[in-house]
Amino acid sequence: MAEMHIQAKLVNLLKQDKIQLWNPPYTTGYNQAGQQPLQQLAVNYAAIVCFSVSEVASALESIRSQAVKRGMGNKTYRETFVATLELLLPKDGKKDVKKKNYLETKLDVLAQDIMARIAEQYGLKYIKLILNGKTLTPEKRLDEQDVKNNSKIMVLRVSEPERKKQMVEEEEKKKTQDQSLQRTQKGFQILSERDGTDDPATTPFLEIADQKGNPLKIPHREKKALILAMGFHEKGRALMKRKQYDAALCHLLQADDQFGTCGSVLLSTVDNYAVLQLDIVWCYRALEALSCLDDGKQRLQRAEDCFLKCYGEQQQRLMQIKGNTGREEVLFLRLYLLQSLLAYLDGNEHQATQKLMRVEDLYGRLCLDPGKMTGLMGLGFSEQEARLGLRACHGNVDEAALHITHRRQEREEMKQQERERRRRRMEGLATLRELGYSKRDAARALHQADGDMDRAYGILLESTQAESAAVTNHNTELPIDQSKVEQLLYLGFEPEAAEAALRLTGGDVQEATQLLLDNQGVLPPELLSPSPPSSVSEEPSTSSESAGRTHIHTRSGSQGEDPMDVDLVNEVLEDIPRHEEDYLDLTLEEESEVIAQMKSYLHRNCTPSS
């Protein structure tokens, strides 16, 4: 880390002084170092950057040799189209920690070919390639995935099978990271398809809930994407707790991709996306992959912007929702700590120091008295409850005990409400079936009506009438204005979709356009066929009561229809935390180590010597 800091400071000085190390006198005609000019430059800069002459000389030579190699690589690329890629290898895969690793290749080859070369050359059996925070697809060409000459490619080691002799090969394969990702995605896809119309006592499903566990109403298509995104995030966080940062980063990047498809206004009012960005950069730090400096900076900026929108400039919105801000301060501690680290690596010592001062202030407030923790745990509260309660109440034991007790009561009341909803739902289902409706139709109507049997009955009646009307009017549809169709075709929509959208919106071009955009140009079957009207709003709730954070809320149940589905669902459910504020429950042990590391770098004596 110190080497990156020295180089960043020297690069800034070289730019200011307009010195090009790849040109004479610093580089000879044979691309060798001009020893005397470099040594004199090191003497001049040592006093400025507060490092010894030998350290500065070594850093200058590293900068020079990299610049020369880059220039040679650019010349080779212009003449032969062979690109030079810098490989950021796992720390335990490097033979020489200070030496940079490069790979020459054409860019019209598949990523899997490069992966095979890297695996063979460096003895890495299971790997993924990351470019700017995005995982390269093995089956696609490099140039199709924005890989360019001089790109920095992060080589991420994924979980190898447990090397136990008693395990058969198939069992070993199941432990590889690719299969873990696939199983996670499949498990959450199964859960995202379930809308609660089946009996939750036998078929578990997930709801998106606010920070207090209250279910939020979100359009089904967005809900599916959110469940996948949040599912990958929770799996990644579970792996982070086990210190399996390689595997965690793979899942977190998948979550990032899924969040990118959501586009919901909900994301601007909750902190999930911001926390994900922090977690990704925290994994970069743990993997010593902070050469991904630009990507890390951008992610931390997105996190800070999201926190600002979600909590308010002075966290007033958070105070209004939750009554305190103590627990969320751990997120800002981690944010400022990572910002300090990246500023240091970028050569900005002043900014790094300023951020670290804010970190130390927060750390002093958030570190808890062990005696107070023991006291609360002696009252029957869990370690997690005690830690969160003390931070919420700024260390006041009595207030923390009342706060934890109140939260327990709230959760118990919600469970009772859920049990009562389930009882009413089962009674309503039985009544509607007695009236002649199928179990499936009755369950869907009750789901749309939030369990209200009278409203569900009305929905079923309207559905029957709508189907009859559709049959009657099937052959008497009014002609569509072709000029309106052409307007939609001009916007790039397909003719069939354009006509269907105009029919559904009564010929309103603006509404038809919005309908097509909402469905990415392809109308789903449920819109094209008669469906029961619903008086229940499909807009995501963004009231002050639902803002702050969303989490996946598990509804009870233990069995599905397919045994394989049961295994997958149970597997992913294991990683969903039972406490809605689990993401705030940081012990600060890792943060303490990084703070000490940063202080050792920033507080070193400015006494350069030759």
| Any domain includes 88 | yes
Alpha helices, DSSP H, located in 450-606: 453-473, 482-490, 495-504, 509-518, 525-528, 563-573, 589-602
What six digits make up the tokens of 415?
A: 């469970």
State the average pLDDT over residues 352-366. Answer: 94
Nearest CA-CA partner of 233 in 215, 208, 216 = 208
**Domain count along the chain:** 4
| Any domain includes 477 | no
The domain boundary, picked from 116, 131, 160, lies at 160
Tens-digit pLDDT profile for residues 528-550: 654 433 333 333 343 334 445 56
Q: Is 165 helix (H, G, I), strand (E, B) or coil?
A: coil
- φ and ψ at 371, to 5 degrees? -65, -40
In contact, 551 and 541? CB cutoff 8 Å: no
Do 53 and 201 share a domain, yes or no? Answer: no
pLDDT the model gives residue 21? 92
- Give 595's pLDDT tier (boundaries 50, 70, 90): very high
State the average pLDDT over residues 454-477. Answer: 67
pLDDT the model gives residue 546? 42
CB count within 10 Å of CB 283 equals 24
The sign of the torsion formed by the CA atoms of 403, 583, 332, 330 equals positive
Compare 372 and 445 and report the one with higher pLDDT.
372
Q: Within its chain, how far is the Cα of 154 from the centroid?
A: 18
Integer Cα distance of 207 and 196 in angstroms: 9
Integer Cα distance of 203 and 561 in angstroms: 8
- pTM assigned to the model: 0.68
Do 210 and 328 share a domain, yes or no? Answer: yes
| Any domain includes 279 | yes
pLDDT the model gives residue 525? 63
Q: Are strands 152-157 and 82-88 parallel, antiparallel or unpaired?
A: parallel
State the average pLDDT over residues 599-605. Answer: 78
- Residue carrying the six token digits 């007695």: 434
State the average pLDDT over residues 471-488. Answer: 65
Question: Hey, which residues does 152 pair with through a beta bridge?
Answer: 86
- Residue carrying the six token digits 């354009």: 498
Helices first, then strands: H and E counts in the chain: 24, 7
- Residue carrying the six token digits 């010592």: 349
Do 48 and 97 share a domain, yes or no? Answer: no
Compare 536 and 395 and report the one with higher pLDDT.
395
Do 231 and 377 share a domain, yes or no? Answer: yes
What six digits make up the tokens of 357?
A: 């001062």
| Any domain includes 302 | yes
Do 333 and 198 share a domain, yes or no? Answer: yes
The domain boundary, picked from 76, 98, 124, lies at 76
Do 257 and 349 share a domain, yes or no? Answer: yes
Least confident of 87-96, 107-116, 143-152: 87-96
In contact, 247 and 180? CB cutoff 8 Å: yes
Least confident of 212-226, 464-478, 494-508: 464-478
Integer Cα distance of 499 and 197 in angstroms: 32
For the ranges 121-125, 186-190, 403-407, 431-435, the maximum mean pLDDT occurs at 403-407
What six digits make up the tokens of 434?
A: 């007695």
- Give 240's pLDDT tier (boundaries 50, 70, 90): very high
| Any domain includes 151 | yes
Do 337 and 255 share a domain, yes or no? Answer: yes
| Any domain includes 242 | yes
In contact, 551 and 229? CB cutoff 8 Å: no
Integer Cα distance of 220 and 45 in angstroms: 61
- φ and ψ at 209, to 5 degrees? -125, 160
pLDDT the model gives residue 536? 34
Cα distances (Å, whole numbers) of residue 528 to 410, 505, 519, 524: 43, 12, 12, 7
What six digits make up the tokens of 277?
A: 């960005």
Do 248 and 318 share a domain, yes or no? Answer: yes
In contact, 230 and 272? CB cutoff 8 Å: yes
Tens-digit pLDDT profile for residues 144-180: 999 999 998 988 877 654 333 333 343 454 455 556 6
Integer Cα distance of 48 and 43 in angstroms: 10
Do 220 and 369 share a domain, yes or no? Answer: yes
| Any domain includes 552 | no
Compare 583 and 440 and report the one with higher pLDDT.
583
Question: Hey, which residues does 102 pair with through a beta bridge?
Answer: 86
- φ and ψ at 587, to 5 degrees? -75, -20
Cα distances (Å, whole numbers) of residue 544 to 10, 105, 219, 506, 580: 49, 53, 19, 35, 17
What six digits make up the tokens of 492?
A: 């790039």
The domain boundary, picked from 494, 524, 554, lies at 524
Cβ neighbours of residue 380 closer than 8 Å, sequence gap 6 or more: none
Do 585 and 517 share a domain, yes or no? Answer: no
Integer Cα distance of 10 and 57 in angstroms: 10
SS3 content of the chain, % helix, strand, coil (to 5): 60, 5, 35
| Any domain includes 59 | yes
Compare 263 and 264 and report the one with higher pLDDT.
263
DSSP one-letter code for 583: G
Compare 313 and 321 and report the one with higher pLDDT.
313
pLDDT the model gives residue 196? 53
Domain that holds residue 492: 482-524
Least confident of 219-223, 289-293, 531-535: 531-535
The sign of the torsion formed by the CA atoms of 54, 57, 58, 59 equals positive
- Tally the C-alpha atoms within 13 A of residue 351's C-alpha that lie toward its C-beta: 13
Integer Cα distance of 1 and 335 in angstroms: 19
Tens-digit pLDDT profile for residues 242-255: 998 988 998 899 89
CATH number of the domain residue 117 falls in: 3.10.20.90
Do 382 and 256 share a domain, yes or no? Answer: yes
Cβ neighbours of residue 496 closer than 8 Å, sequence gap 6 or more: none
- Give 552's pLDDT tier (boundaries 50, 70, 90): low
- Give 410's pLDDT tier (boundaries 50, 70, 90): confident
Do 39 and 89 share a domain, yes or no? Answer: no
